[in-house]
Structure 1
Amino acid sequence: MPKKRIITAIFIAIIFSAALFFLESYAFSVFSAVVIVYAGWEWARLSGLLTPPLKLLYAFFVLSILILSGYILGLAKTTPIHLDTAKVLMTWLVPWWAIALLWIQGYPSSAVLWGSRCVRGLMGLLVLVPTWLSIVILTSLDNGKWLVFVVVLIVASADIGAYFSGSRFGKNKLSPNVSPNKTWEGFLGAIIANLCLTFLLGIFLKLNLTEWLMLFFIVMATVLAAVVGDLLESMMKRHRGVKDSGNILPGHGGVLDRVDSLTAALPVFTLIFIYSSFQL
């Protein structure tokens, strides 16, 4: 793995951890909104909006939707958000990933359905806005910052497991038309890595059998969502003929290239968690 990539990854981990655990929940929501808006700038390029004014306009539109969403949730420094409203929003927004999965499976033929700039722009909102909403919702809960950290840990474990398993054993392509480098063996590695994570979390949290099974369900659903999120961005980049969403992160590309898995993993985890009685 290139040295530049490792250094950037360490830098990202430090900045993220510091922001997550040292900023108040409201401040972290603002910090996350800045990241999401910049990701919107990158998504504009994937949507086919190539000039700076058009990309800026799209990023501003993303910001406007975030502000509106925060208002609907009742996001404020001193009062809790409206959890019932959060449940309604996530219930309506998260199922879109089932449509995304169908489009990924049908690529390149499916591009006839989403290939226009308008539809791709709408896809960006469905990818980015629920990601931010998930962060706002989770950090408003008890131990919420640790919940966000657990999701990141699940995605990181999946990436590491997929990388080593895919590099060593990868032969059968997972989605050759979308991302030729991803294999079923790598996917299995992601599952195994998170089985180990589930086992360790269960021991650390001293869970009973029922709680352990619930944790297993949440983790596996999050892993599957992470894979779909990764593949969706890969499909968008392949359709546009670009390698990365941007170049702001040396060795990694753009912000979207780092958060693509989280854009699906966070909303799916959040939706399941807020409807369950499971506690971390």
Structure 2
Amino acid sequence: MLGQRIRTAVVLVALLAIVLFVLPRAAAIGILATVILLGAWEWSALAGLSGMAGRAGYLLACAAGMGWLWFVTSEAAWFELLLAVVVAGWILVFGWIVLAPARGPRWLAALTGLWALVPAWVALARLLAQDGRGAELVIFVLLLVWAADIGAYFAGRSFGRVRLAPRVSPNKTWEGVLGGLLTGLLVAFAAQAWFQLPALAFLPLCVAGVLISVVGDLAESMLKRQRGLKDSGRLLPGHGGVLDRIDSLTAAAPLLALGLSWLGLLP
């Protein structure tokens, strides 16, 4: 299983490098949108939309939201306002997770998916659209979140004792969260030196990004548990579905993009 996960990850990293550093910027942004729409297709099933018409409609709603918000956020002030509202909304999602209902209304699950997926794409796409350092900024966000995921996975397997949210995801532990923070900080220190940003502002941003990424992970875990599913899909061997790889990112990307904008890395 681990070997399969590693092989899939190597292929994904190679494809990501091509998308970010070889393809034209517009094509790369379009591919990011395609990944998000694949995630939306999986989320529609988690939300209980079983019919083809309902799931296709959900995809159209997601695509329309992406197009509209891309237009609206062309001004930096609107971009930052959107991200601030979205980050605040994740606090409400966290409250939903704490309640951990056995079942939730379909409309709430569907709305949460749009809240998670659409702004995450806008955040990453706006970062990528920046002249000069766009690809570097996206790589930083991805590395921070995925390094935290990897650290949490191995720390949880090796040292995990105290469960984080047993009613939502029994395998996640506080030791795993700590391991994710430590590996995330390694990326944060490297990025702080690379971008030459003030450590007192940048490092807390990275810690907050890692912590909110856990909320994104738990949100998907809760919906999977409500639907009796282990994975969101089967597209990625050893990893599950697209959502299983980007769930943490959906919560972290808006916060990190907002922080990078406040730190002056976005014009």
Inter-partner Cα distance in structure 2 for 1:278 and 1:83: 12
1:237 matched to which residue of 2?
Answer: 224
Please state if 1:135 is matched with 2:124. Answer: yes
What letter is aligned with 1:95?
A
Aligned partners of 1:94, 1:54: CA distance in 2, in Å?
28
The alpha-carbon deviation at position 204 of structure 1 amounts to 4.5
Structure 2 unmatched ranges of 5 or more: none
3-state SS of the aligned residue for 2:167?
A: coil
1:1-280 equivalent positions in 2, closer than 5 A? 1-73=1-73, 81-108=74-101, 111=103, 115-142=104-131, 143-205=133-195, 211-277=198-264
| Percent of paired sites with the same residue | 40
Give the Å deviation of 1:89.
1.9
Measure the CA separation in 2 of the matches of 1:90 and 1:197: 23
Distance in 2, matches of 1:134 and 1:199, equals 22
Amino acid at match of 1:138: L
Task: Give the deviation of 1:227 after TM superposition.
Answer: 0.8
User: Partner of 1:76 in structure 2?
Assistant: none
Contact 1:94 1:130 in 2 (8 A): no
Whether the aligned pair in 1 keeps the contact of 2:38 and 2:242 (CA below 8 Å) is yes
Q: Distance in 2 between matches of 1:278 and 1:60?
A: 32
Where 2:93 maps in the other structure, the secondary structure is helix
Letter in 2 for 1:129: V
Q: Give distance in 2, aligned partners of 1:183 and 1:150.
A: 25
TM-score (norm 2): 0.93
Deviations 1:219-263 (A, max 9, x none): 101101111111110011001111111111111111111100100
1:177 partner SS: coil
Secondary structure at the residue paired with 1:18?
helix
- AA in 2 matched with 1:119: L
**1:203 offset after TM fit, Å?**
4.2
User: In structure 2, what is the Cα distance between the partners aligned to 1:43 and 1:202?
Assistant: 34
Tell me the alpha carbon deviations over residues 85-140 of structure 1, each in whole angstroms, 9 at most, x when there is no partner. Answer: 2122222222110001111112127x5xxx11112111111011111110122123
Q: CA deviation at 1:196?
A: 2.5
Report the alpha carbon displacement of residue 54 of structure 1 after superposing the two structures with TM: 1.8
Paired residue secondary structure (2:261): helix
C-alpha displacement at 1:278, in angstroms?
6.0
- TM-score, length basis structure 1: 0.89
Q: Distance in 1 between matches of 2:194 and 2:78?
A: 33
**1:203 and 1:133 mapped to 2: Cα distance?**
26
